[in-house]
Structure 1
Amino acid sequence: MKNPMTQLIRQMIVPATLILAIFIAAACEGPVHPKYDGENPDPFPTGSEPPVVTEVTPDRGFAGDEIVITGSGFRPSAEQTMVNVGTASATIVSITETEIVARLPVNENGNQKVRVAIWGSENWSNELSVFYLSDFVEVKYNILTPRGVAVDDTGNLYIGSFNDQAVYKIDAVDSVKTTLTDIPVTGTMEFGPNGWLYVVTASGLSRISPDGATVEDVVILSGVRDFDWAPDGSIYLLQVARIHRFDGSATEEVATVRQAQKLRVFDGHVYVTELANSRVARFEITGSTLGPHGIAFQQNTPLAGLDLAASGNIYASAFVRDYVFKAAPDRVNDSDITEIPNEEDRANPFRKIDIRVGEIYMNNSVMYLVQDQVASGTVGRIWRIFIDERNAPRYGRD
């Protein structure tokens, strides 16, 4: 009688032997080398020449600022290109075979190397450098009774002086101060269409040509404190108790406010700091009019300076204290408003602020804080701070 176990083992030996033979035969045939051509490109190409970088502009800035890298041999696809700045990778905003627009990542202050790598090349490009400006500096140009700050598209800083009745230009490259023009500046300033600088003056709102040679009246209206553009090109002007709208030909009152200080337009609303009410008021833009008076956030101390980030965060300065409030748009209640500086957070640059901030001006990822509540003939202090978020759109220039 046959042993059933022995018979089962014999039956298993045949298939196993067959499988082994198949593997041996396959191994003897050697590896399969696919052929790549135009219809079947190599997914891991090698041997390409590295790109060449010829220029980086501007050659200085802060994390979050955009730089333009000019050169040759770039891939026209961001997925096949890497821009390395210092110890981090930059975000590619746009790219062609000869130009890359990239957003600077966070790095240490000082010179950082910029280089580019492309898919298919084992080597990096040549290196150029970009200079990271200090995250927190005091702008010291001895501006008497400062009124208004603005930054143009090439990084030059403009500061108005109520005492000198002039607007000064601080060169972005060599920091040299020159007089742009003499003008009776009394309030804020901002760049508008065609590079003209719009300035609040004793007579209303004026504008200065890019070369400073021409000054023109835009709106004749006494007591203007601040202004901003709406997306449709109209300008909202703020007086201490009223908001006016200028449509390019006529000015019309559209709302009343109480002891207003600063104004900003963002996301279909007009925001205003009301000193006496200790709050940031908000009005919905409804065509050529404004909706009912609303409250963006309320505090228990008078508020003066105002600006908004693209995220919707509202920054407002305390009028009688040396700090700034930050209010997130998705906060549950006003207890979620951040008070800056926070002395427990030693890494927070705002903790060094020791002035009453009358004006807040954001440009890209930098915030300027201006001590404009000083006696005539007194130097007002100005701080420049990196805040790692970008300003809300400025519709007059964007």
Structure 2
Amino acid sequence: MRNYTGKITGLMLAMLVAMVTLMSSCKDDEGGEEPGEGSELTITAIDPATARIGEQVTIIGTGFNPDYSQNEVKFYAGETFVDGVAVKKYVNATLVSGTSTTIVVIVPATAQDGHIIVIANGEELESSMDFVVNVSLDNPVLTSLSPTNGFPGSEVVITGENFGEGIEAIEVKFGETVATVSGVTATTITTAVPEGMTEGEVQVSVSREGAAADKTLSYTVNKIPVDVKTVYWPTIDGIHKGVINETGATITNIYPTVDHTEAGSAFGIAVDAVGGYVYWSGNGIYRASIDGNGTIETVLASDNYVFYDVALDPENQMLYFCAYSLDFGTAYINKVPMDGSVEEETIYEVSTDDEFGVESIKLSISEDKIYWTDGSYFRVMTGSIDGSTDAVVLFDEVDGLYYPTGIAVDSDNEKIYISNNGVDFVGTSEILVGNLDGSGDLEAIVSSGDYVKAPYDMEIDLENGYIFWMNSQVPANTSNSEVMRSTLDGETVEVLFGGFENGSLFDIEIGEVLPE
């Protein structure tokens, strides 16, 4: 019998080697082995080829290290000069993920249009195609509204990003109603609540040339309040008049500084509704028609004072004002006839350490008393309207006063309201009430927060039961201002007027006050 074992074994071995070789070849042809180290380094695409700073880009090619963190990607970043020779600069990109054929990176902040460099497995390759930085604006981004509530006609400032700078490109809607845009910067839009808006919560939307913002913001359209007094206040732009009627809120600059230089330095203000005049203090004391017509008269001109607040006694045709000596060493409470026909008379002198002294004064004609705030010593004081009695301290820092900036007197109920501007010092801002004779404790009826922000001055409407104050910093540490109103118990608080700057002292149009 013949032995075929050796021949069969050899044949089988040869067949086995051939099969392994064929399988290996097939595997290579099918791309089953992931190329990496040892593969040729190539860049075949940049996806997308145009992107914004901070967006992700995928680099496609071969020969990348499968451990993406071991690769390095650089974007062109302009040129620099070395010994007078221009040299290209590149900036490293942050790596996000990758494989041996892809690397995902974030476009660096200083990237410019140009080639991309990949360094992998000891090799370096510059792309043949350009990457382009997209410098167009992304969709608008909304951050906040200020204020977040108000009446139809009230100004609203929208804060965010990517607004551009063209008013015509921006559309603002309160619900489905298009609002008027009065100003645009890259980060702010100034608009107003459309007239005729129904009270309640509404969503504010923004689009720029059809590109919608990332979200909407909630705004509350307040119910048109009843019994609103006309409000007057000075700013560096002039004397302003705020009116609320059934259609909403309107603000008019009745004596703009650009036309009336006497209004540019205005600080204190008082209204004689019966006589038809608005008075204000600045470089002197002036008066003009309450409706914004006519000429401005000088009631008192003096180079000896720095003028602050004013208060009126229409019954006796007297005007009271507080002022400082030029060195701010002394504060004065003076009076002068409302027509300026007689020289002023000093009824009280108050020593002061600085210009945070007498700022706000109020009269109680029925009591023949005058009340004022003293910011130097954190106190509220009272005296007689003729200066015949010594001044008395009603409340001071022992009672929790940080910086009293305004007062309102309710003689009928023997109460005094105080705006406590603690934000300028170490305390909180709040609206306080206490007994008119200084007895007992002060009580906060409106606390710091959305409603009380660096408050200045106060007024009172006893006929309808409201107190008013000026928020001088909305938000904190800004010059944005607003006029607020609250019921005497602090239960209902409303923003009456907003969207203006540098407000401090103000007055409301009471009308004729009959003697008791």
- State TM-score, norm by structure 1: 0.52
Among 430, 449, 456, which residue is 1:323 paired with? 430
Q: Deviations over 1:205-259 (max 9, x none)?
A: 2222133112222222442211212453222111141111113422122211231
CA apart distance, 1:376: 11
Among 265, 282, 285, which residue is 2:382 paired with? 282
**2: distance between equivalents of 1:377 and 1:298?**
27
Query: Taking structure 1 as reference, are residues 354 and 372 closer, same or farther at Cα in structure 2, changes over 3 Å only?
Result: closer
Tell me the equivalent position of 1:254: 347
Is residue 157–residue 169 contact of structure 1 (8 Å, CA) maintained in 2?
Answer: yes
CA apart distance, 1:162: 1.7
Query: Taking structure 1 as reference, are residues 173 and 190 closer, same or farther at Cα in structure 2, changes over 3 Å only?
Result: farther
Using the TM superposition, name which of 312-321 and 269-278 deviates more: 312-321
Query: Taking structure 1 as reference, are residues 282 and 191 closer, same or farther at Cα in structure 2, changes over 3 Å only?
Result: same
> Are 1:263 and 2:361 matched, yes or no?
yes
**2: distance between equivalents of 1:225 and 1:141?**
28
**1: distance between equivalents of 2:251 and 2:371?**
33
Among 273, 281, 299, which residue is 2:397 paired with? 299
CA apart distance, 1:274: 0.4
Is residue 185–residue 200 contact of structure 1 (8 Å, CA) maintained in 2?
Answer: no
Partner SS for 1:318: strand
Using the TM superposition, name which of 217-226 and 155-164 deviates more: 155-164
**CA RMSD after TM alignment:** 3.6
Q: Deviations over 1:22-73 (max 9, x none)?
A: xxxxxxxxxxxxxxxxxxxxxxxxxxxxxxxxxxxxxxxxxxxxxxxxxxxx
> Are 1:167 and 2:240 matched, yes or no?
yes
**What code does the residue aligned with 1:254 have?**
I
Tell me the equivalent position of 1:236: 320
Is residue 362–residue 409 contact of structure 2 (8 Å, CA) maintained in 1?
Answer: yes
Among 203, 214, 225, which residue is 2:283 paired with? 203
Q: Deviations over 1:87-113 (max 9, x none)?
A: xxxxxxxxxxxxxxxxxxxxxxxxxxx
* Structure with more relative contact order (C-alpha pairs < 8 Å, separation 6 or more): 1
Q: Deviations over 1:256-286 (max 9, x none)?
A: 1231110011111111100121111111234
Among 323, 327, 340, which residue is 2:445 paired with? 340
Query: Taking structure 1 as reference, are residues 297 and 164 closer, same or farther at Cα in structure 2, changes over 3 Å only?
Result: same
Is residue 472–residue 479 contact of structure 2 (8 Å, CA) maintained in 1?
Answer: no
Tell me the equivalent position of 1:313: 415
Among 235, 240, 255, which residue is 1:181 paired with? 255
**1: distance between equivalents of 2:477 and 2:271?**
26
**1: distance between equivalents of 2:228 and 2:312?**
21
**2: distance between equivalents of 1:395 and 1:245?**
22
Among 381, 387, 391, which residue is 2:488 paired with? 387
**2: distance between equivalents of 1:218 and 1:232?**
16
**2: distance between equivalents of 1:201 and 1:376?**
25
**2: distance between equivalents of 1:161 and 1:376?**
19
CA apart distance, 1:309: 1.4
Is residue 240–residue 251 contact of structure 2 (8 Å, CA) maintained in 1?
Answer: no
**What code does the residue aligned with 1:197 have?**
Y
**2: distance between equivalents of 1:260 and 1:243?**
8
Tell me the equivalent position of 2:231: 158
> Are 1:355 and 2:453 matched, yes or no?
yes
**2: distance between equivalents of 1:268 and 1:227?**
17
Unaligned runs of 5+ in 2: 1-148, 158-226, 257-262, 325-330, 423-427, 491-506
**What code does the residue aligned with 2:321 have?**
L
**2: distance between equivalents of 1:395 and 1:177?**
20
Is residue 157–residue 172 contact of structure 1 (8 Å, CA) maintained in 2?
Answer: no
Aligned sequence identity (%): 14
CA apart distance, 1:377: 8.4
Partner SS for 1:213: coil
Tell me the equivalent position of 1:216: 297
Partner SS for 1:211: coil
- State TM-score, norm by structure 2: 0.41
**What code does the residue aligned with 2:485 have?**
R
Tell me the equivalent position of 2:17: none
CA apart distance, 1:373: 5.9
**2: distance between equivalents of 1:234 and 1:291?**
19
Is residue 138–residue 381 contact of structure 1 (8 Å, CA) maintained in 2?
Answer: no
**2: distance between equivalents of 1:393 and 1:377?**
28
Query: Taking structure 1 as reference, are residues 249 and 396 closer, same or farther at Cα in structure 2, changes over 3 Å only?
Result: farther
CA apart distance, 1:315: 1.0
**1: distance between equivalents of 2:321 and 2:513?**
17
Query: Taking structure 1 as reference, are residues 341 and 155 closer, same or farther at Cα in structure 2, changes over 3 Å only?
Result: closer
Is residue 273–residue 290 contact of structure 2 (8 Å, CA) maintained in 1?
Answer: no
Higher strand share: 2
Larger radius of gyration: 2
Count of matched residue pairs? 241
Query: Taking structure 1 as reference, are residues 369 and 141 closer, same or farther at Cα in structure 2, changes over 3 Å only?
Result: farther
**2: distance between equivalents of 1:315 and 1:355?**
16
Using the TM superposition, name which of 232-241 and 373-382 deviates more: 373-382
Query: Taking structure 1 as reference, are residues 235 and 380 closer, same or farther at Cα in structure 2, changes over 3 Å only?
Result: same
